Structure 1
Amino acid sequence: MTFRTSFALALLTVVATASPALAKEKNPTEVRAISQEYADCVVQKKPELAREAILSNANNDQIAKQYKRLIIGGCLVKANDGRGARMAFGGDLYRYALAGALIRMDLQDHVPRSFADVPKLIHLPVKISDPDLMQRTDRKGRRHQDSVARSKSVRALSLYGECVVRSDPQNSYDLAMSKVGSAEEAESFKKLQPAFGPCLNNEGEVAFNKSALRGLVSVNYYRLAMAMQQANMTDATALEVTQ
């Protein structure tokens, strides 16, 4: 089975709109930096809502519809140095950005350790396919086929991210905590290389950009760390009751 997915066309797009004469598309590193600052601002303003969105495993579409208060224009202006802008998040990139911001807010003093005792995470389901639509070549059929294919990719990538985090919690955490484009980020990516290959689980070739790969690590790290914290709190409560 060959498994190849590419986020090359799902890069964040940020275009300055302060003046038509000055409007220009940012380069990928600038875009990633702006998305990081934007997500940090959103999470600071709406921390509980952001936690709910990530821990409930909402996808990008659900966030856009059910968590509209997490889309804050003022945060984008702030992240873009006060200049007007518009931003488009492809794929699951907004979810990824929020998870990274939550790690930087909630887990600043966190000490990474093994997640071996944490149960496997529940990942987004694959969309149920309609046999008739899967055979059709018209627009409706193609849309359904694309939707099913995307749901399969999202699930496979999510499982991949969990594997990477479980394989190397320390460098996964360091990556999520690092500043975009920094030497620390580059070093974390390098140190995670030994986990990237084995976690493919014979799925074949996978092509990522840095936003997607960092995001997969961030979402899964945050969910695993919070599950561990919840389990520890439950154990502590049970101990108090028995004493």
Structure 2
Amino acid sequence: MATLNRIAAYAAICTAVVASVPLVAQDTLPSREAEKDLAEYADCVVGRKAYRKSVAAFLRVVPNSGPFFPASMKAADMTCLNDAAVRRRASKLEMRLQPSTFRGALYPALYRRDFGKIGPPADLTSAAPIDVTTEFDGDVMTLSEEYGSGRAFGDCVARKAPQDSHLMLTSRPWSASEEAAIEKLKPALASCLFADQTARFNREALRAYLGEATYKLALAAAGRTAKEAR
């Protein structure tokens, strides 16, 4: 109940303003390259029709629950992973492909697949409030506080700045386009934090928060469900 209350509180009180939003203080060049590869890998996976049901099933599993890892393995396309490793001439992408990291990369990829060219629906900002009880097959009471706050934060930012969120999600990680998107997003990022809240997150986390929220809001605004989007 605490996590659900936290999600509701973040979604309702997202107009508080803080002085600044610290972003990406310690990212290194190797991690940047891995993030680029991971985005390409996720794009490959969601583009494979044979894996759409497995991806959808994985995304409905409560993060870090018992079925989470097995579901992630069913959704992971080894052909796409091997192709990405070959491009990198290394196996570092495999080392980074933890279930939570994989999940975080899938939502931006799904958004690019379904809304990358057409952009967010016009009424994205008026979509219904978050209801995580409909988003998972499992005990939502076990969702972590971290997930709850991140989910609500991403939802708030996506509603306040749908076009800038679109720009970030459709930009290649660490590109000039993503840099421009983050600059445009900073007012929304700041206004979606409580006045006494401090937050430090890197771009990978921001993409994950924003990708899940924007994709789900876009589906809702378009009158579709994740099941229909397979």
* TM-score, normalisation: structure 1: 0.68
> In the alignment, does 2:52 pair up with 1:59?
no
2:126 is equivalent to residue 121 of structure 1: no
Task: Letter of the 2:127 partner, please give it.
Answer: V
What SS does the aligned partner of 1:170 have? helix
- CA shift in 2, pair 1:49/1:227, >3 Å: farther
Greater Cα offset, 167-176 or 60-69: 60-69
- Structure 2 residue corresponding to 1:27, chosen from 8, 30, 35: 30
Counterpart of 2:114 (choices 106, 119, 129) is 106
TM value normalised by structure 2 = 0.71
- More relative contact order in 1 or in 2 (CA 8 Å, sep 6+)? 2
Counterpart of 1:81 in 2: which secondary structure? helix
**Separation in structure 2 between the aligned mates of residue 226 and residue 184 of structure 1, nearest angstrom:** 24
The 3-state SS of whatever aligns with 1:161 is: helix
- How far apart are the structure 2 equivalents of 1:182 and 1:189? 11
- Residue equivalent to 2:177: 184
Structure 1 residue 89: deviation in Å? 4.0
Are the structure 2 counterparts of residues 57 and 166 from structure 1 closer, same or farther at C-alpha, using a change threshold of 3 Å? Answer: farther
Q: Distance in 2 between matches of 1:28 and 1:164?
A: 25
Instruction: Give 3-state SS (helix, strand or coil) of 2:95's partner.
Output: strand
Q: Deviations over 1:52-105 (max 9, x none)?
A: 544x36426544223432112221221123545132345832212011111111
- Distance, in Å, in 2 between the alignment partners of 1:216 and 1:198 is 16
Q: 1:37 to 1:26 in 2, by over 3 A?
A: same
Cα distance in structure 2, aligned partners of 1:94 and 1:60 = 12
Shift of the 117–53 alpha-carbon distance from structure 1 to 2, 3 Å rule, reads farther
In structure 1, what is the Cα distance between the partners aligned to 2:220 and 2:57? 13
CA deviations on 1:121-157 (whole Å, 9 max, x unpaired) are 2238453xxxxxxxxxxxxxxxxxxxxxx81111111
Counterpart of 2:157 in structure 1 is: 164
Q: Indicate how the Cα distance of structure 1 residues 121 and 218 shifts in structure 2: closer, same or farther if over 3 A, else same.
A: same
Relative to structure 1, is the Cα distance of residues 223 and 65 closer, same or farther in structure 2, using a 3 angstrom cutoff?
same
Match of 1:36 in 2: 39
- Establish whether residue 207 from structure 1 lines up as the match of residue 179 from structure 2: no
After superposition, residues 81-160 of structure 1 pair within 5 angstroms as: 81-82=86-87, 83=89, 85=91, 86-89=94-97, 92-112=100-120, 113-123=122-132, 125-127=140-142, 151-160=144-153
Corresponding residue for residue 197 of structure 1: 190
User: Which residue identity is paired with 1:217?
Assistant: L
Instruction: Give aligned pairs, total.
Output: 189
Q: SS of the residue aligned with 1:213?
A: helix
Tell me the amino acid that sits aligned with residue 66 of structure 1: A
Q: Are the equivalent residues in 2 in contact too, given 1:123–1:159 (CA < 8 A)?
A: no
CA distance in 2, matches of 1:91, 1:198: 30
> Structure 2: which 5+ residue stretches go unaligned?
1-21, 134-139, 226-230
Give the structure 1 partner of residue 79 of structure 2: 74
Taking a change above 3 Å as real, the CA distance of residues 216 and 175 of structure 1, as seen in their structure-2 partners, is same
- Higher Cα Rg: structure 1 or 2? 1
CA distance 1:104–1:198, change in 2 (3 Å): same
Q: Paired residue for 2:7?
A: none
Q: Distance in 2 between matches of 1:60 and 1:97?
A: 16
Q: CA RMSD in A?
A: 3.0
